Amino acid sequence: MEKYLIKFAILSLFCAHVVTQMVCSDNPPSGKDIRECCLDYPRVFDTHLNSSCITRYARNTQRQLQDLEPGETPKGNCVLECIANQTRIYKGRGIIDTIALKRLYMNSVSGDRDWGNIIVKAVDLCVNETRIMFNDMKTNYKEAKTTFVGEVICHPVSGYIFGCLQTELFRRCTNMTESSECEALQQYASACHLSIKYS
195 in a domain, yes or no?
Answer: no
Q: What is the pTM of this model?
A: 0.82
Report the pLDDT value the prediction gives residue 25, as an integer from 0 to 100.
Answer: 57
**Distance set, CA 2 to CA 47, 48, 197 (Å):** 8, 9, 13
Cα–Cα distance measured from residue 166 to residue 186, given in angstroms and rounded to the nearest whole number: 12
Residue at 134: amino acid letter: F
Domain range for 172: 2-189
The reply to whether 198 falls in a domain is no
Residue 22 reports pLDDT greater than 50: no
Asked whether residue 126 is domain-assigned, the answer is yes
Q: Say which CATH number the domain at 133 has.
A: 1.10.238.270
State the DSSP string of 4-35: HHHHHHHS-S-----TTS----SPPS----HH
pLDDT tens readout for residues 71-94: 788 899 999 999 999 999 999 999
Quick one: pLDDT at residue 49?
Answer: 64
What number is the average pLDDT over the span 145-167? Answer: 94
Asked if the structure places residue 6 within a domain, the reply is: yes
138 lies in a domain? yes
Whether residue 167 is contained in a domain is answered as yes
List, as one string, the DSSP characters of 173-184. -SSB--SHHHHH
Identify whether 130 is part of a domain.
Answer: yes
Number of structural domains, the chain? 1
In a domain, 141, yes or no: yes
